[in-house]
Amino acid sequence: MVSSPLLFPDFFRWGTATSSYQVEGNLTNNDWFAAAQTGGYIYQDQAAGLACDWWNRAEEDFDRMVTLNQNAHRLSIEWSRIEPSPGVWDNDALARYREMLIGLHQRGIEPMVTLHHFTNPLWLTEQGGWDNEAIIGLFERYTQKVVSVLGDLTPIWCTINEPAVMISHAYGLGRFPPGIRDFNAWLRVAINVVRSHAASYHAIHRLLPNAQVGIAKHMVLWKPWRPFLPNDQIATHFLEYLFNHLLLTMMTRGITRVPGRRSYLLPETANTLDWIGLNYYTRYRIQFELFSSQLKPRFKPGAMKGPGEWGEIHPQGMLIMLKQLWQRYRLPIYITENGIPDHTDAHRPEFIISHLSQVWQAIEKQIPILGYYFWSLVDNFEWTEGYNPSFRFGLFGVDFETQERHLRPSGKLYGEISKQGGLTSEILAR
Ligand code: BGC
């Protein structure tokens, strides 16, 4: 099918995203390294090890970004590096991050900086991590330190990556450390996370009045497995609110109602988003059995889905989520992550085109979308999947033995799209 070109606005950011523990290497002072030692959380109990060795060779990958015509990159700062023990700051680490951000600018790449991407310093975990209210002040102090040193190098800050994923996996499903399954803990932690975000938001704005601060929010397209059954419908609504909207409601309105529980009024958390980052990956169909109280994802035979429990690939969900975010919150949007685990690269090129087509349609509908950060530039450590070969997300494949990179066809394609500023007729025809 040949279509007319889908061109994006001139200001559009064409980027990729990464995170500290997943790419930097030699991080041993955080809870994910500890989880590899405890065992039971990660594929083959793997730690990230050298990962992509960014601490030593990030610039080589920045050069690769240039070859893909990128003008933006989202990366994260590792709290356990900056503050290896409480109140002790590692100035060399901060200097290295300065060097990295300058390196991006020198290549015409605008950095977006995430302050927290899943990992906590060990000393903080020992104090109860997110389940201790003290984290609010500690996260604020860490924010102040980072922003006072790096603030001149970017106005775009992302406080916390995927808070709902982190809370749900760590305190609801027990899959991320500390492996807790308790809805009361989930709620306590959710409040601490939102208050930490708010404290960080205000701290950034005190230091950088023109900063643009947001979060990266993972949104799942939830659907009832049996659309005609109230069980599945109610469970779907519940997840949609709890997972997709509860935290955003608190961060925009400062108030929220937790189904079956109480309402929370937290005025200091209201209006603490200047933009919303959408991380969109999958659709899940949900089945809920009343008698056993079992809630589980179900997959139709032949559905286009990722490996293991990874959900369905459903590009139309991108537009649905963008519309939903815009209608509810009226804030500018960055697509802070979108990608597919595909070690063969058989599906990634089509994935990129089909999802970007949806983004383009959203822009046509006047939804203010500022940029797209593909997950990810390079293969990297994938949390509970560790280095499971089925979970490769990179535009560049990485040989973790030799640190060699190879450009995948999808990388070449994304590079062309970024160069052209969208999907040209020629790209669509192919
Ligand atoms: C996370 C990334 C992760 C990616 C793929 C997101 O949930 O922010 O760190 O690697 O999705 O699973």
Which of 337, 390, 398 has most ligand 1 atoms within 8 Å of CB, for mutation? 337
Q: Residue 121 CB: number of other CB atoms within 10 A?
A: 23
Give tens-digit pLDDT for 326-359.
999 999 999 999 999 999 999 999 999 999 999 9
Residue 119 CB–ligand 1 contact under 6 Å: no
- The DSSP 8-state label assigned to residue 9 in this structure reads P
Residue 293 is predicted with a pLDDT of 87
C-alpha angle 75-321-269 in degrees, rounded to nearest 5:
65
Task: Please tell me the distance from the alpha carbon of residue 146 to that of residue 51, in angstroms, as a whole number.
Answer: 23
CA nearest 12: which of 359, 256, 393? 359
Answer whether residue 59 shows pLDDT above 80: yes
Q: What is the C-alpha separation between 314 and 171, in angstroms, rounded? A: 28
* φ, ψ (nearest 5 deg) of residue 203: -65, -45
pLDDT one-digit tens code per residue, 113-128: 999 999 999 999 999 9
Residue 262: its pLDDT value, please?
84
Beta-carbon contacts of 335 under 8 Å, excluding residues fewer than 6 positions away, are 277, 278, 279, 280, 318, 359, 369, 371, 372, 373
Hey, which residues does 310 pair with through a beta bridge? none
- Mutual orientation of helices 348-364 and 316-329 as an angle, nearest 10°? 30
CB of 110 shorter than 6 A to ligand 1: no
* Mean pLDDT, residues 376-387 taken together: 98
Best probe residue, ligand 1, of 76, 114, 162 (max atoms within 8 Å of C-beta): 162
Regarding the beta carbon of 326 and ligand 1, being less than 6 Å apart is answered no
In angstroms, the CA 167 to CA 285 distance is 21
**Which tens digit of pLDDT belongs to each residue from 63-112?**
999 999 999 999 999 999 999 999 999 999 999 999 999 999 999 999 99
Q: What is the pLDDT of residues 176-234, one digit of tens each?
A: 999 999 999 999 999 999 999 999 999 999 999 999 999 999 999 999 999 999 999 99
User: Alpha-carbon distance 238 to 231, whole Å?
Assistant: 11
Mean pLDDT of the chain: 97
pLDDT tens by residue, 301-335: 999 999 999 999 999 999 999 999 999 999 999 99
Residue minimizing CA distance to atom 12 of ligand 1: 382
Q: Residue 337, class by beta-carbon neighbours within 10 Å (0-12 exposed, 13-18 middle, 19+ buried)?
A: buried
368/362 Cα distance (integer angstroms): 8
What is the C-alpha radius of gyration for the chain, rounded to an integer number of angstroms?
Answer: 20
Find out whether 89 and 145 touch, Cβ atoms under 8 Å: yes
In the predicted structure, residue 10 carries a pLDDT above the cut 60 = yes
Give yes or no for residue 427 having a pLDDT over 70: yes
Whose Cα sits closest to atom 1 in ligand 1? 162
CATH ID of 6-429, from 3.30.360.10, 3.20.20.80, 3.20.20.70, 3.40.50.920: 3.20.20.80
Rounded to whole angstroms, the Cα distance separating 61 from 26 reads: 18
Taking the centre of ligand 1 as the mean of its atom positions, its distance from the CA of residue 70, in whole angstroms, is 20
Could you tell me if 108 and 65 are in contact, meaning their C-beta atoms sit under 8 angstroms apart?
A: no
Q: Whose CA is nearest to atom 5 of ligand 1?
A: 382
> What are the structure tokens assigned to 116, written together?
């927290």
pLDDT classification of 257: cutoffs 50, 70, 90? confident
Q: Sign of torsion, CA 92 98 101 106? A: negative
Instruction: Name every residue whose Cβ is closer than 8 Å to that of residue 310 and which is 6 or more positions away in sequence.
Output: 281, 282, 341
Contacts of 60 (CB under 8 A, 6+ apart): none
Strands 263-265 and 255-257, how do they pair?
Answer: antiparallel
Beta-bridged to residue 213, according to DSSP, are 157
Q: Is 382 in the pocket of ligand 1 (CB under 6 A)?
A: yes
Task: Report CA-CA distances (Å) from 129 to 11, 104, 118, 132.
Answer: 39, 32, 11, 6
Model confidence band, residue 259 (pLDDT cutoffs 50, 70, 90): confident
pLDDT of 166 strictly over 90: yes
Give yes or no for residue 83 CB within 6 A of ligand 1. no
Q: Which residues pair with 284 in a beta bridge?
A: 222
Rounded distance, CA 32 to CA 384, Å?
Answer: 9
- β-strand partners of 320: none
Which residues make beta-bridge pairs with 334? 277, 371
Task: Please give the single-letter amino acid code of residue 115.
Answer: L
Sign of the CA dihedral running 378, 323, 223, 249? positive
pLDDT band at 411 (very low <50, low <70, confident <90, very high): very high
Measured CA to CA, the distance from residue 428 to residue 430 in angstroms comes to: 5
pLDDT tier at 3, thresholds 50, 70, 90: low
Alpha-helical runs (H) found in 208-268 = 230-239, 246-253
Atom of ligand 1 lying closest to residue 216 CA: 8
- Alpha helix ranges (H) inside 24-133: 31-38, 54-67, 79-82, 91-106, 122-126
Query: Residue 372 belongs to what H/E stretch?
Result: strand 369-374
The finding on whether 161 has its CB within 6 A of some atom of ligand 1 is yes
| 273 and 329 Cβ atoms separated by less than 8 Å | yes
